[in-house]
Amino acid sequence: MSETIFTKIINREIPADIIYEDDLAIAFNDINPQAPVHFLVIPKKPIATINDIAEEDREVVGHLHFVAAKIANEKGFAEEGFRVVMNCNKFGGQTVYHIHLHVLAGKPLGWPPYQEGLKIE
Ligand code: 5GP
């Protein structure tokens, strides 16, 4: 698969506000936040979409949720609540083809996300 901007962030080729890193994953604030708290947790391994998760990736993908909850606890919004989202492909609204968990927090979040008549290019 071709390299995305997230590989460049992992490799420090472009700047990002990195808030967590370990052997398997890295987390950084979203450049275009959709909530008072909005960061992304991504595997260091470049997996394009949820559809590309292999048997061998199960541990790392589970680890993304572990990291999200760990940061939520450390930042103090775990009890108040938050949302994790992973978008997949065009209808899911995915724009960067390196899987990432969105973590959104800091205010009550709307649900459901479906909007009648939404046009996707
Ligand atoms: P998607 O639409 O694929 O689920 O989410 C991609 C997310 O990556 C978007 O929320 C977008 O704002 C964020 N993003 C795209 N490019 C960059 C970047 O260069 N730096 C950071 N920090 N976030 C980015």
**Pocket flag, ligand 1, residue 99 (CB < 6 Å):** no
4-23 confidence digits (pLDDT tens): 999 999 999 999 999 999 99
68-87 confidence digits (pLDDT tens): 999 999 999 999 999 999 99
Cα 83 from Cα 5, distance rounded (Å): 24
100 is catalytic: yes
Average pLDDT of the chain to the nearest whole number: 96
Q: Write down how long the chain is.
A: 121
**Pocket flag, ligand 1, residue 93 (CB < 6 Å):** yes
Nearest CA to ligand 1 atom 13: 30
Q: What residue segments make up the domains of the chain, in order of their start?
A: 5-105
The answer on pLDDT for 24 being more than 80 is yes
Nearest CA to ligand 1 atom 12: 32
The residues, any chain, with a CB within 8 Å of residue 7's CB and separated by 6 or more, are: 46, 98
Give SS3 for 53: coil
pLDDT of residue 1: 58
CA distances from 78 to 19, 57, 74 (A): 16, 26, 8
Whether the pTM exceeds 0.95: the reply is: yes
**CATH superfamily ID and name for 5-105:** HIT-like (3.30.428.10)
Atom of ligand 1 nearest to the CA of 14: 19
Nearest CA to ligand 1 atom 18: 31
Minimum mean pLDDT among 29-33, 63-67, 105-109, 110-114: which range?
110-114
CB 91 within 8 A of CB 70: no
